[in-house]
Structure formats: structure tokens, C-alpha cells
A = this chain, B = another copy of it.
Amino acid sequence: MKIAILPGDGIGPEIVAQAVKVLNVLGESFEMETAPVGGAGYEASGHPLPDATLKLAKEADAVLFGAVGDWKYDTLERPLRPEQAILGLRKNLGLFGNLRPAILYPELANASTLKPEIVSGLDILIVRELTGDIYFGQPRGVRECPDGPFKGQREGFDTMRYAEGEIRRIAHVAFQAAQKRDKRLTSVDKANVLETFQFWKDIVTDVHKEYPDVALDHMYVDNAAMQLVRAPKKFDVIVTGNMFGDILSDAAAMLTGSIGMLPSASLDANNKGLYEPSHGSAPDIAGKGIANPLATILSAAMMLRYSLNKQEQANRIENAVKKVLAQGLRTVDIYEEGTTKVGTEEMGNAVVKALA
């Protein structure tokens, strides 16, 4: 089994190194190959997603991704900026199904900005469509405004769109995920305003017929943003489009106060996937050895579960992470009095030790 390792920028290389260390002690024989991506890709060959990196990602059975982005690339024109790499990988690999759990570990209940009774035991899963919507819709650009009171001025424009098949396949992913959990799915739309999401709602409702054991409800995106703040534990699985999912999954992650703990998976139709922490490249703390590697290590666990079909190894890693938390080890982002502050590498080593 071949794993493409794409560390990226900022803290990416540090945290990915810990996940690789963990993968190496599982007693499996993975072939791992590393390639530059994001700013590192740009430095290496003038493009955030170098051809060789894309080729490696395509050939591999799974991709372990760190994070991309650094302020120093902010002045590049858009197609050359680091985040284009992640958009390019999603599109080229057909990674339409993004799974983003928002889990609050009991040991970290204090990390949340929300009251403990609102978030303790939080365990929700956001299923975000990742290759459609306004992220990729054409046409888009800046043009002369064709009509209305601003006719003749410049205007920026984009196209939101979802085809029936795109909605069906992500709905199947979400219903099946709900079947393995509490069997409740909330489809988030803006059907009261957008044609795309009235269509979305209709198709999700239709797919529901195949999953009578799952309870489906529909919620407008503005209300969903409110309910995530008001009573997040009422959700089980949320499914939504690319744009709304971008916003809601980040809000949900932040509810836990410990985004340094949250992994993610982006899957294609055959369960090949890209795995990355939900947090970003944090250039401000890069190279200091203090970043939390657990989201990346847990992303490696998701990779074992979804793409490499090694459920037991996935469980082993997840249990090892729980163990180090129970031991009181904390990187600075989740540190509180009475616990033991450790660096990136110590944390990685602790997980390795807990695996033994």
C-alpha cells in the first residue's frame, strides 16, 4: 500500500513527521513517498501543486496531507497561492466527500468557549460536498456588469451549481455515515432563496427513500449556524454543500475549543482519500516545535479506516491518543493548569509509546 506524504507549509512538516512515525511502528509495510505542496511546491517548482506531486497523489492509495499557506505567498496571483493546491487535489482526485468530525474529548471540556453543559460529550459529523458548488462553477471572473442599475461598471461574479448526481452521491455518503451513528441526518440548505439548494433539498429528500432507518430533517444554513451555537449536541450528522460546509464545519470545530485535535477525510467514489488535520498551517508557530500533532495522527487513523481498510490499526491509534490525553500530556494549544505541557515531538513519541 502506497501513501503519498504531502507535508506542505508552516507547521505541516512537523506534525506530519509525527504521524509518519506513528504509522511506522504499526508493524505494517506501507510504502511512503513525500512530495512538496503549497508554498513548498511553489518554492520547489513554481507551482503550488507540482505535476510530480499530483502524479504521486494519483498513484497512491491514500494521501496524508499537512497544511498549506504562509503570509509570504499572499502577494502571489491567485493561481499560484498555496491553497490552490488543496483545491486542485480535491478536483483532480475527485475527492467529493469530506468527513469532518467535531468531537470534544472529555479531558478537554474546559478548552471550549462554550459552557460545559452545552458541549461536553459533543460528537457530531459534518459531511461536506467538496468538488462542486460555487467553488468550481463556471463561468466566473470580473466582467462588465450586463444589466441593472450598475450596468457598465465592473462586477465580480461566480456560479453556484449542483448537478443531480453530485447531490445523490454525497447524500449516500451522509446517509450511510448516519446509519453507523445515531441515524439522524440534517441536510443544510438555503432553499428559501437559492435554486441550487431547493434542488439540493429535493434530491436529498428523494435519496432518503433508500434509507428509511435514518431520520432526515432540513435546516436553513442561517438557522444551522445558530443551532450550532445554541445546542450543538442536538445534531448527529450534518450534510451540506461545499460553501456552507466550509463555514459550518469550521464553526463546529471551534465549538470544541480544540481544533488541534480534529482530523478530516476527503474521499473519492472508491474510498481513496486525502487526510488532513482540520486546522491550518499556523505559520506563526512553525518551526518552534510546539504544534499539536494529534489532529494529523488522528487523520492517519482515519486513513487506515477509510482507505486502507485497517480498522484495527485505526482503533489502536485512536486509543493511544486517548491514553496520552488521560496521562495529562498537552501541547500548548490545549494546555491547562494541572496538566503536563509537551512539544510536538514529545507528543508524537508519547503516542508511539502508548501504542506499544
Contact = CB atoms under 8 A, between A and B. Distances in A.
A144 to B, nearest CB: 9
A162 interface: yes
A229 B198 CA distance: 29
B254 A230 contact: yes
A156 B196 contact: yes
Nearest to A154: B164
B251 A225 contact: yes
Interface of A: 78, 81, 83, 87, 113-115, 118, 134-135, 137-138, 140-142, 145, 147-150, 153-166, 190, 192-200, 221-223, 225-226, 228-231, 243-244, 246-251, 253-255, 257, 259
A203 to B, nearest CB: 9
Contacts of A150: 163-166
Contacts of A200: 156
Copies in the complex: 2
Contacts of A249: 222
Contact of A195 (B156, B247, B254): B156
Contacts of A221: 246-247
B229 A158 contact: no
A221 B246 CA distance: 9
Contacts of A197: 156
A205 to B, nearest CB: 13
Nearest to A116: B115
A160 B158 contact: yes
A97 to B, nearest CB: 15
Contacts of A228: 251
Contacts of A231: 113
